[in-house]
Amino acid sequence: MADVILYIVDQHSLSSILNTPISQILTMLNSQIFQKNRPPIYNNFHRDFDVDLEGDLLELFDSNPDMKVTNQSPLVYESELKSDLILLLAKWSSVAQWSCWDARLFLYIEPYIDRDISDTSDFLSPKIWSSFQNAISLKDQDSFVESVILDWMNRREKLGETMEPSEDPKILPTMSSHGLLSKSLFNFIKYSLQHDLGLLIGREYLDSKLWNLYENNILDYRG
């Protein structure tokens, strides 16, 4: 099972950097000015480390010397590498990251939207997450977490699985894991709504061209 990964992206930060000439971005990286312009992280969440993203950007530039000297911005840069560059800069402009096994998302997402999810690839759809955001906006944290755990228990019982910890030592750790993950997802989504921030949606090892940013594919983003 592969993780689905969500980032909350600061659109103002991303728009600014995507309209900056690539040669200037490189200059900022080399002069360590770049770090100072990253939006602050949302407390209690993590995101990619500054040094890792800077290293990935510098590696991309070093592998493609023509990119280093262009005065084009990433938004208008025409290259097979455009999606790689925009993805790295979107991650740089994020304030929080959340990830989860895609199979678990059926439990966390499907009961709260007005459509069935037929495949794990649906969890990469901005429409799915927009529907979920709308549903979450009407809930409080405790009721959401409780409903997730009760749904998980009901599903187990329908499959004839025990709910007795003495019979299955994984029951309590799994219940705790669902509680913590659903709580963090709720807080993650609520924060994005309260601050009018968009989502970057992808998965581990997914080609950069297949990531979605806000309502569209990453290559359709216009800043």
pLDDT at 2: 66
Residue-wise pLDDT tens digits, 35-77: 888 999 998 899 999 999 999 999 999 999 989 888 999 999 9
How much is the pTM? Answer: 0.92
pLDDT at 163: 74
Taken as a whole, the chain contains a residue count of 223
How many helices (H) and strands (E) would you count in the chain? 9, 5
Cα–Cα distance for residue pair 167/219, rounded to 1 Å: 51
Which percentage of the chain shows pLDDT scores above 70? 99
CA separation, residue 57 to residues 54, 156, 203 (Å): 5, 45, 19
Q: C-alpha angle 20/23/25, rounded to 5°? A: 55
pLDDT category at 198 given cuts 50, 70, 90 is: very high
pLDDT at 44: 87
Residue 27 DSSP SS3: helix
Cβ atoms 177, 104 nearer than 8 A: no
Q: What are residue 9's phi and psi, to 5 degrees?
A: -110, 130
pLDDT category at 1 given cuts 50, 70, 90 is: low
Average pLDDT of the chain to the nearest whole number: 92
pLDDT at 40: 95
The C-alpha R_g of the chain, in whole angstroms, comes to 20
Q: Is the confidence at residue 115, as pLDDT, over 90?
A: no
